[in-house]
Structure formats: structure tokens, C-alpha cells
Amino acid sequence: MEPVLDPDVLAFYERGGEETRLSQEPGGPADSRLEFLRTRDVLRRVLPAPPARVFDVGGAAGAHAVWLAADGYEVELLDPVPLHVRQARAKGIAARQGDARRLPRRDASFDAVLMLGPLYHLPERADRVLALAEARRVARPGGLVAAATISRWAPLHDGLVRGFLFAPGRLDATLETLRTGHQDGGTGLFTEAYFHDPADIAGEFAEAGLGAPVTYGLEGAAWLPGGMRDRLDDPEQREAVLTALRVVETEPSLLGASAHLLSVATV
Ligand SMILES: C[S@@+](CC[C@H](N)C(=O)[O-])C[C@H]1O[C@@H](n2cnc3c(N)ncnc32)[C@H](O)[C@@H]1O
């Protein structure tokens, strides 16, 4: 059987960054903090009320599983990276190794299936559709599938704001990524990945047998200047950021401004 992950992706995650990436420590990386806060904000509004069974597929070290369990959900996590499984178990999460394309669970086992990660590491469309179809299969009728993607335009915006677009060869490589959606590993920027044109997400859901998803832009334009850190440290300003982003979260003309998108469909 083929390994689940490309060796570059496995090596990237075995470095252990997921343990702290979404940390809410004051002064931590603002983009990731905003991604976490917005993901939680949307999920808390769309998930069935606890207690309910949630499958966190590609859940890494358990950043979301931990608050979901604290909110009263019965959470199971699956991830292909052995380190992530150990880290999630150390937090008391029921975690096992596996692949989003072959979920080791019976039909209709969960009230909600989260796929916050696998789709942007599956470069082939057929694999992404297979993963979504598996999510649909293990979710109960009337349940929910929520899948994260990264915007096609995120590498361009990130490169402009953080300046790496101006390094030798990066502009051409980024333009190629915009054309195809694919980014090679070994660039020192993230890892091998697939970036979705927001307009393509609904087609992948439909092919997997899911209804039309509602797609939420998570960070909006708030990640672009990279200046949200101090605002997220301040409780009042953090609430203002979240309130502002809720207003534009499903505005179609702004979806591609977000780095991360969350698409939610009822089964
Ligand atoms: C950037 S992390 C996101 C982790 C977490 N869910 C979050 O929202 O922050 C992407 C995760 O997807 C996992 N992943 C990649 N390919 C996968 C696959 N085929 N099946 C399941 N998980 C996969 C990776 O191991 C990694 O933990």
C-alpha cells in the first residue's frame, strides 16, 4: 500500500510544529491565532449541540479536538503522522493513525466530520473527492461535514506581505502555483500543497455526493497586513475583529482574500 503522505509532507510535520502552531499565547503568531479563533467561532455556530460525536480527520496534535472535548463533544481524531497521534493522545484525545481516503469507521458513525487539513495535502482531485466521500459516508444523514481548504491566492498575498516573493525565482514559482494550485515541497515555505480556487470547492463536494456547501472565509483581509497580534491580545479588540469578520465571512467577492476557507455541508 502506498504511504499516506509524501515524504516531504511527513518530514515537515515530524518537525513538530503543529503542537504549538495554533497556540493562543499572547504574542504568538497572529495569523495562526486568527485561523484558530475563526475556525472555532464558525464551528461553534454550525456544529450540532453537544453531546455529539465528532470525527477530527487530519486533527494533528489535537488543537481543535481539545476545545471540542471541553465543550462536551465526544471526539475521535485520526492523522497519518505518528507524532501527531502521540501528541493528541497525551492530551487525552482518542487518536489513531490513518488516511482521510480510507476512514476506518462504519457508515453513519458520527454527527459531524471535520477535515481541517487533508484536502490541501491531496494534490489529485480524485483523492480529495474520495476523502470528502469518506467523510460523507461516516457522517450520519442530517449530520455535518466541514472541510478546510487554503485559498489559491494565499501564496501570492503571503509572498507580497512577508516579502519572499522578491527572492530569486519565487515570483515565477508563485505564478505557476496560481496557475495550477500546486506547490512543491522543499521550498522552505510550508510543504507540498494544493491551494483551491474557492470557485472549485462546491464541485468537489458535489462529486463526493454532498450538497452545496456554505463556504466561510476565515481570516478575511485581517491577516494581510500581519498587524493583528496586539489586537488579538486585547479581549475587547479580539471580539471586535471576530465581529467584523463574521459580517464578511460568506461574501463571495472576498473569499479569496482569506488564507483559509471552511466549507460546511449537511449530509
Ligand atoms: C496544517 S495541519 C492542520 C491540523 C489541524 N486540523 C488544524 O486545523 O490546524 C494538516 C493536517 O492534515 C493531515 N493530513 C494530511 N494528509 C492527510 C490524509 N491523507 N489523511 C488524514 N490527514 C492528513 C496532516 O498530517 C496534518 O496533521
CA of 8 relative to ligand 1 center, distance in Å: 14
**CB–CB of 77/107 below 8 Å?**
no
Query: Hey, how many other C-beta atoms are within 10 angstroms of the C-beta on 199?
Result: 12
Rounded Cα distance, 183 and 71, in Å: 36
pLDDT over threshold 70, residue 148: yes
| Percent of the chain whose predicted confidence (pLDDT) is above 90 | 75
**Amino acid 26: pLDDT:** 65
Cβ of residue 130 lying under 6 Å from some atom of ligand 1: no
Rounded Cα distance, 83 and 19, in Å: 10
Mean pLDDT of the chain: 93
Is residue 51 reached through a cis peptide bond, with omega within 30 degrees of 0 on the bond before it? yes
User: 19-44, pLDDT tens digit by residue?
Assistant: 877 776 666 667 788 999 999 999 99
Rounded Cα distance, 114 and 26, in Å: 27
* 3-state helix, strand and coil shares in percent for the chain, rounded to the nearest 5: 45, 20, 35
Q: Kindly state the DSSP code that residue 213 receives in the 8-state scheme.
A: P
**Amino acid 1: pLDDT:** 58
User: 32-80, pLDDT tens digit by residue?
Assistant: 889 999 999 999 999 999 999 999 999 999 999 999 999 999 999 999 9
Cβ of residue 143 lying under 6 Å from some atom of ligand 1: no
Cβ of residue 13 lying under 6 Å from some atom of ligand 1: yes
**For the residues 122-128, what does the mean pLDDT come to?**
96
Query: Hey, how many other C-beta atoms are within 10 angstroms of the C-beta on 5?
Result: 20
Cβ of residue 129 lying under 6 Å from some atom of ligand 1: no
Rounded Cα distance, 70 and 67, in Å: 5
